[in-house]
A and B are shown apart, each in its own frame.
Chain A
Amino acid sequence: MSQAAFFSVRGVAKHFAGLVAVDQVSFDVRRGEIVSIIGPNGAGKTTLFNLLTGQLKPDAGDVSLDGRSLNSSRPDQRARLGLGRTFQIAKPLIALTALENAMVGAFLHRPRFRAAQEKALQVLEEVGLAARAHLRAAELTLSERRRLEVARALALDPQIILLDEVMAGLNASEVGESIALFRRLNSQGLTFLIIEHNLKVVRAFSERVIVLDHGVKIAEGSAEQILNTPEVIRAYVGRRKA
């Protein structure tokens, strides 16, 4: 039975004044899959994310979610259609409390205050921030702010969530907690597309890995395969001058 990809990216490209940031990248994500995007700094990963979420307009390409084309949709429309995302540098709504942050997300599908508040408390519980619900975002630690980002995205009831280096700066136990959380969410049906630098996380958490270098997809496969491919290693480490 042919199955249109749940999240389909076809030939997405973007250049900035002559510099090609993303060059005809295509891949699919199946429903419930966990896919990582890795690549050296400047490979175009975050740019790709911004293209997928609609924050940047691509020069070419198609993106679709669950059969529905996202091409002409604004970022907020894509969020409404089920695309959640976090930012590489966490963007909590600083003056608001953690609960209020989560409620901003929750209000999307729950216009009533009570319902939004309940959902917000629920997602805060999920990410382990329930005890900090009434603290201002400004008073949260980095790891807590990351989790708040995730909570706010979860409150949207997303179908697929795009996480941008959500583990950066976390210590080992925090990383472990996060992976456990994501596994839990994944088992409930959430699809993951993550950008990750930490290759241990990639190995531990991903089903499939896509490698980007200089805006080009240079490899795709299981974590095992990818992390042993010479091209990938070269992209990260650089060519050895023989």
Chain B
Amino acid sequence: MRTPLRLYALGLAAAMVPFVLLSHDLFWLNILIYMYLFAGLAVAWNIIAGFGGQFSLGHGVFFAVGAYMTARLYLNWGITPWLGLIPGALVCAVLGALIFLPTFRLKGSFFAIATLAFNEVGFVFANYLESVTGGPRGLQVPFRAAWSNMIFADPRGYALLMFAFMAVCVAISIALMRSRLGYYLLAVREDEDAARAAGIDVTGVKLRGTALSAALTAIGGGLFAMYVRTIDPPTLFSLPDIGVKFALLALIGGMGTITGPVLGAFLIVPVESYLRAVLGGEWPGTHLIVLGFVMLLAALFMRHGVAGALDSLWRRWRRRT
């Protein structure tokens, strides 16, 4: 909110650096693709959760719906994903508003668990509705490289795609924080009664925030589908890998800030992937043990995430000069 725009432009340019440096290496390129994608997804989650204070663990549903819709539209009717992303986004905007509306009266942990339940229900239905989702086996998108198909022979295309997604999400975040809706989300997060006294339609604001967040998440899901080209319920509805991951990345990076979710993704995704590659073989699960430890330490010693830690360092430095 107070940071000048050119700093963000600088940050975005800096975010490109890993790509420039590592894009020749297929191993790291794959990591970068996930990093950028999840950075965007974490930013999208942060809109309703960090800014709006609605700690959702159900965003996996939007991700999955976006993935399924984009893939289906492409598979069944040959609709280019560039357009096919949109219906998923719109559906999720409405779906998000619908399913979150009754749960908004719940606070804190209750809301979190209720949204978790959505994810679980989604998982069951995704397995069940075979004609729509391909059931437990899911959907496969055959490899037919073409720009119009959003399928790239050169994976660097995907990296740029995900980077663009992240950039769009961040840009929307920035714009939000200079808009009425953004301020209203913050007010709702801080104190609903005070917000009402200030003329804010609390439920309406929550719904709008959810719609935006869900739509962006759905787009991310669609992009995911066109990258991995194999989507199934266990993958899409996995809480540690998808639904809860968004929250984790935003938390560790700094919930409620614009750059926090990006920082979280840039930190955790490479670390996790690297650990998995290095430690994964020997003793099963060791890379996750390390990750779990890192997460625990981060939670205990960086309560406001990386962004918060950086912010307090900055303040301390300014006070000294």
A–B direct touch in complex (beta carbons closer than 8 A): yes
Binding site for B on A (CB under 8 A): 53, 55, 74-77, 79-80, 84-85, 87, 91-96, 100, 103-105, 107-108, 111, 113, 116, 134, 152-153, 155-156
Q: Interface 1/0s, chain B 4-27, versus A by CB < 8 A?
A: 000000000000000000000000
Q: Which residues of B contact A95 (CB under 8 A)?
A: 186, 190, 256
The reply to whether B194 and A87 contact each other, CB–CB distance below 8 Å, is yes
Q: Which residues of A contact B180 (CB under 8 A)?
A: 107, 111, 113, 116
The reply to whether B184 and A74 contact each other, CB–CB distance below 8 Å, is no
Q: Which residues of B contact A104 (CB under 8 A)?
A: 183-184, 186-187, 195, 198, 200
Q: A55-B196, A116-B180 are in contact. Are A100 and B186 (CB under 8 A)?
A: yes
The reply to whether A113 and B178 contact each other, CB–CB distance below 8 Å, is yes
Q: Which residues of B contact A155 (CB under 8 A)?
A: 198
Q: CA A155 – CA B199 in complex, angstroms?
A: 11
Q: CA A226 – CA B109 in complex, angstroms?
A: 50
The reply to whether B190 and A79 contact each other, CB–CB distance below 8 Å, is no
CB of B191 within 8 Å of the partner chain: yes
Q: CA A148 – CA B207 in complex, angstroms?
A: 28
Query: A-B contact count, CB below 8 Å?
Result: 78
B224 to chain A, nearest CB (A): 33
- Ordered by A's residue number, 30 sampled pairs between the chains whose C-beta atoms are within 8 Å are A55-B193, A55-B196, A75-B197, A76-B195, A76-B197, A76-B199, A76-B201, A77-B201, A79-B196, A84-B197, A87-B193, A87-B197, A91-B193, A93-B187, A93-B194, A95-B186, A95-B190, A96-B186, A100-B183, A103-B183, A104-B186, A104-B187, A104-B200, A105-B199, A107-B180, A108-B200, A113-B179, A116-B180, A116-B183, A152-B198
B184 to chain A, nearest CB (A): 7
Q: Which residues of B contact A76 (CB under 8 A)?
A: 195-202
Q: A91-B193, A93-B186 are in contact. Are A100 and B1 (CB under 8 A)?
A: yes
The reply to whether A75 and B190 contact each other, CB–CB distance below 8 Å, is no
Q: CA A152 – CA B180 in complex, angstroms?
A: 15
Q: Which residues of A contact B186 (CB under 8 A)?
A: 93, 95-96, 100, 104
The reply to whether B191 and A93 contact each other, CB–CB distance below 8 Å, is yes
Q: Which residues of A contact B201 (CB under 8 A)?
A: 74, 76-77
A42 to chain B, nearest CB (A): 21
List the 4 shortest-distance A-B pairs measured between CB atoms, nearest first.
A79-B199, A93-B190, A91-B194, A108-B199
Q: CA A116 – CA B196 in complex, angstroms?
A: 18
Q: Which residues of A contact B193 (CB under 8 A)?
A: 55, 75, 87, 91
B69 to chain A, nearest CB (A): 33
